[in-house]
Amino acid sequence: MHYKDVSTGKEFQEYLKEHEMVPSCMSEKYLECVRRAQQTVSNLLSLTDLERQYYKEVGIDLEKELRSWEAHRKVYIQVALSQCEFKKNIHNLAGWMSSNEAYKKTMIEYDLAPILVEYRPLDPEHCKRYLKAMGKL
């Protein structure tokens, strides 16, 4: 598998294993961005017709948003890969892995890395009120 072909979390893990690499604290940070982008893509794909109509009336081009989030996901995963290191280049692999795990644990413990996702499901009543007020429903 080539570096540029990696576009999913599963492929990311396979690439690391195939090339005997380990993630770093920085790669974990970018993987959070990958997860955010992937969840947003999923949310965009599962919008209801009412939500689609609402966003259209608000002036949001959902196709453009979808392409943008898909591109960001791919770029973030490649940046995360660039922040990984070959195991053979690390003189203290146990220390590297330990500090990486400590980083993830601390971010979760102090709630410092929430995955902020866009285009979450909307309240249908809000959509209906807005569209009715705009004369579109």
Would you say residue 20 has pLDDT above 90? yes
pLDDT digits (tens, 9 = 90+) for 21-64: 998 888 888 888 898 899 999 999 999 999 999 999 999 999 99
Q: How far apart are CA 50 and CA 35, in angstroms?
A: 26
User: For the chain, what is the largest distance between any 2 Cα atoms, rounded to a whole number of angstroms?
Assistant: 67
In contact, 26 and 83? CB cutoff 8 Å: yes
Closest CA relative to residue 36, chosen from 10, 73, 2:
73
* pLDDT over 80 (residue 75): yes
What pLDDT is attached to residue 113?
61
Strand ranges, E, within the chain: 21-22, 85-86
Q: Per-residue pLDDT for 10 more than 70?
A: yes
| pLDDT score of 80 | 92
Classify residue 37 by burial, with Cβ atoms within 10 Å: 0-12, 13-18, 19+. buried
**Tell me: the pLDDT tens digits for 89-135?**
888 888 888 887 888 788 778 876 666 668 888 899 988 998 889 88
| Residue 44: per-residue pLDDT | 95
